[in-house]
A and B are shown apart, each in its own frame.
Chain A
């Protein structure tokens, strides 16, 4: 909110220089965002916190400044020079919806001569960012800025019989507002109406039909207290935020209507805009007794951690306009002035005392009680370990937004029936790119690949630990949120070097990264199975199983998807479920005895049909070799003239060792023979010599 220093100082004689004002108000809760201009022409921009409706005016800020500096506050002149007929003869007001209008006051100005407002007034309006229009409108705006009370001026001659009715709009009613727009109204909106139809949207904007014009001779001035929630809803429904609606939405107090109306009337008379008729229309169905709160100075100190004397507390509150009465047990009964609608309980008074006393004077302490017993959060530990392992495999961590869109899901060929069932959709998306929450990290990771590729970086290897969202159970209140580990790689994993040209990432790189991750987490009982995923290459996709449970999948991006994404190099994606991995993660280590007897290594080349999975050969080796096989290592795969067509040769190096003796050649030959026998009979394989 813009506040010219010169205007402010009119209410606080002796106001210190602008810098001091900005600093003191900032430190007492009215933050000065910026200062523009020089010397006396300085204009502050204050950020008023949402609870302080009373500070939404020059006078409101002056009240704060006077209190902070201990200076006298000068009130605006409210003495109205009334003349002519009684207002009752000219206008009447009827409130039909007292729940939405606590007070409605009006005065009438007769013999109005529309013209420009005086230069001093125009200057002030311009300094506050408001365009001068004519003397009547300018006075209403001036008073709104000065006192925070929005006013409205109607052309009284265009309101039949001067009869104002404050009521809810009827469904189907509409009004043309002064900006020329037609507004459709609904039953929950409050309007000011004549006997037939609305002439203003209460607290938001006036209607064109009763707007003050060159020809206007009689003006009805409105100063009302409309319900803040109602005005807020109406301004939202109609998407029209005005200076008035912003102030009403924060809340206004009935007394301010009187101040605002009298101040405007006084200016109308003084600036010879017209004659202010006698008396005021005042419909006040919402009068309430003032709020009072018990204040225990001892509790103030207990909550703040201070030893502020009670007299100092009293002084601070009195300067802020609170009225204090002594009560027994050393407490006070504090009467809340009606402009302080934000003060509702003792804690609010604690803040009032603290902010004027000075937050900086409150000693910094640490909580006295013993902290609760700490348990390391297992999820955070897991995540940090996962990151460590993946980074050591060369993957860089990324951070993506959890949003996605139908278009990206389509690009990834995610089936639409899944979209219908699975997606958590945003009712009010900010853009068509962010219409729902992701169901897979793939949508975010391909975005990372695509962005980097578009910036000439085709070698990318990344991971993210992030959430995916789905409605698994249509009856649950909240969607299911799962944390996943996402992996994506494209191009070379290692930078090409003068020694090695570097290879492009392939299926087995990805698989190796996952294997290293699993083992680094202490998960050894894993296996891989051929699988399918709509985004991935049907022949190059695997699911990861741990003790038979499906914990995720990985594979090459389907060539059609890659093309759609515009990626030059082939890329790989993977996704693993954090919770399932965390459940199996083990950091328990029981050291095994080191081998005491020598190992013997024998190689074997097995020729099988091309379609036979290597795992079946390996399983046979372990099975036939029983406990003497220590490790099985596939060191070569061969397809070509040396083996029959549609066959492959798998060359294994098998290490034999016994924990309790040195194996003899005969023993090794025997077990090796059993393995050969096992493989050939079960898999129809032959052994290449």
Chain B
């Protein structure tokens, strides 16, 4: 009997070890431990043995069963590990294949620049205001010290809707609306589309964008014009940006100044972009003209104001190195999609 049992265990062990799949292992288990399995059968037929041998054989067979069960469990673990490994191997992907990405749209550079400007001036306490594109001649010109039928109108060639209505040539006209509606202190920035009678060419558009700024309070000085705008220039163009202010003329400011920044391309050493001057003209500014203050009912002896205006298209062109301003309105996706990370 011993011999027979030993042989049974040895056979089982061999079958277990040669099983290469969970299914094969299960067959081995059934063969030995299943309802009709050899060890199970042997245990069932204990009665065939003499009474006195039964306990020893029974114990022996039970041990054999436990041994075989143990071996099967162990083997099951081994096979599972192998099978997992094989499955993982089979599931391997080419990580260099292109991903399936959700499509995401890009912002237009004009609105990227607007947002940045609004943030910079917002931190200085400026609030955003807007106004109509079709504006009264009065707000666009007359209240800003540009009388009707006056040669100074030549400065800004204008689209007319009617005798009294123009397409605004600057968002400065909203200054008038704000000042007529509010008392100082005022700090406002005014984004928006503006219109000039210019044909479309690489550096002109008849419709473009402006950001105007307005501060009215007691004791606003020309030094404040410089301070506010220099801070903007450093935040927008970078901390090393230099600025200079040149005397200029705008009908609605006195004194008036043009602000130049050190060239974004050559940093002042001179290049094609800055026409070898080292400087780029960025914006017009100045203290509000006393006639404008009086027009909106403020007394120039009590309050003063500063105003500035910049072309957002021009600023974008400089910031992003856009060679032809028409790209800003053509909306060729090959251009617009370059701003996906803006």
A residues adjacent to B (C-beta < 8 A): 26-29, 31, 34, 49-52, 228-229, 232-233, 249-251, 302-306, 345-348, 350-351, 354-355, 359-360, 362-372, 374-375, 377, 379-380, 384, 387, 390-403, 424-431, 434, 437, 448, 451-452, 455, 457, 460-463, 467, 469, 477-479, 481, 493-495, 497-500
Q: Whose C-beta in chain A lies nearest to the C-beta of B304?
A: A303
Q: Are B330 and A359 in contact (CB under 8 A)?
A: no
Across the interface, which residues of B come within 8 angstroms of A304, CB to CB?
Answer: 221-223, 255
Q: Are A455 and B221 in contact (CB under 8 A)?
A: no
Q: Are B103 and A493 in contact (CB under 8 A)?
A: yes
Between A and B, 25 residue pairs with Cβ closer than 8 Å are A26-B246, A29-B247, A29-B248, A232-B151, A233-B149, A347-B254, A355-B255, A360-B244, A362-B222, A365-B227, A371-B185, A377-B130, A397-B106, A397-B336, A401-B205, A403-B207, A426-B161, A426-B167, A427-B159, A437-B167, A452-B333, A455-B332, A455-B334, A457-B334, A461-B105
Within the complex, which residue of A228, A351, A397 is in contact with B247, where a contact is CB–CB below 8 Å? A351
Q: Are A377 and B127 in contact (CB under 8 A)?
A: yes
Q: Which of B100, B230, B231 has most A Cβ within 10 Å? A: B100
Across the interface, which residues of A come within 8 angstroms of B222, CB to CB?
Answer: 303-306, 354, 362
Q: Are B219 and A350 in contact (CB under 8 A)?
A: no
Across the interface, which residues of A come within 8 angstroms of B207, CB to CB?
Answer: 401-403
Knowing A368-B219, A380-B118 are in contact, say whether A394-B136 is a contact too (CB < 8 A). Answer: no
| A245 smallest CB distance to B (angstroms) | 10
Q: Are B223 and A478 in contact (CB under 8 A)?
A: no
Q: Are B245 and A360 in contact (CB under 8 A)?
A: yes
Across the interface, which residues of A come within 8 angstroms of B130, CB to CB?
Answer: 377, 379
Q: Are B124 and A371 in contact (CB under 8 A)?
A: yes
Across the interface, which residues of A come within 8 angstroms of B125, CB to CB?
Answer: 371-372, 374
Report Cα–Cα, A372/B217, bound state, in Å.
10
**Residues of chain B in range 96-134 having any CB-CB distance to chain A below 8 Å:** 97-98, 100, 102-108, 110-111, 115, 118, 122, 124-130, 132-134
Knowing A249-B151, A394-B103, A402-B133 are in contact, say whether A302-B219 is a contact too (CB < 8 A). Answer: yes
Q: Does B331 sit within 8 A of A, measured CB to CB?
A: yes
Across the interface, which residues of B come within 8 angstroms of A365, CB to CB?
Answer: 221, 223-224, 226-227
Q: Whose C-beta in chain A lies nearest to the C-beta of B286?
A: A351
B residues adjacent to A (C-beta < 8 A): 97-98, 100, 102-108, 110-111, 115, 118, 122, 124-130, 132-136, 149-152, 154-155, 159-162, 164-165, 167, 185-187, 193, 197-199, 205-207, 215, 217-224, 226-228, 230-231, 244-249, 254-258, 275, 287, 289-290, 300, 304, 306, 328-334, 336-337
Across the interface, which residues of A come within 8 angstroms of B164, CB to CB?
Answer: 477
Across the interface, which residues of B come within 8 angstroms of A469, CB to CB?
Answer: 133-134
Across the interface, which residues of B come within 8 angstroms of A403, CB to CB?
Answer: 206-207
Across the interface, which residues of B come within 8 angstroms of A355, CB to CB?
Answer: 247, 255
Q: Are A351 and B149 in contact (CB under 8 A)?
A: no
Report Cα–Cα, A424/B218, bound state, in Å.
41
Extra contacts, 16 of them, besides A366-B227, A377-B127, A402-B133 (Cβ < 8 A), are A29-B246, A52-B249, A232-B150, A347-B254, A359-B246, A366-B224, A375-B127, A380-B118, A391-B105, A392-B102, A392-B105, A397-B108, A425-B161, A457-B333, A493-B103, A494-B103
Across the interface, which residues of B come within 8 angstroms of A345, CB to CB?
Answer: 254, 290
Q: Whose C-beta in chain B lies nearest to the C-beta of A392?
A: B104
Q: Are B228 and A366 in contact (CB under 8 A)?
A: yes
Report Cα–Cα, A581/B198, bound state, in Å.
35
Q: Are A354 and B105 in contact (CB under 8 A)?
A: no
Knowing A303-B222, A354-B247, A355-B247 are in contact, say whether A401-B206 is a contact too (CB < 8 A). Answer: yes
Report Cα–Cα, A53/B329, bound state, in Å.
38
Within the complex, which residue of A347, A391, A425 is in contact with B255, where a contact is CB–CB below 8 Å? A347
| A420 smallest CB distance to B (angstroms) | 16
Report Cα–Cα, A495/B187, bound state, in Å.
46
Q: Are A390 and B149 in contact (CB under 8 A)?
A: no
Across the interface, which residues of B come within 8 angstroms of A398, CB to CB?
Answer: 108, 331, 336
Instruction: Give the top 5 A-B pairs by smallest Cβ distance, nearest first.
Output: A371-B125, A305-B223, A305-B221, A29-B247, A351-B255
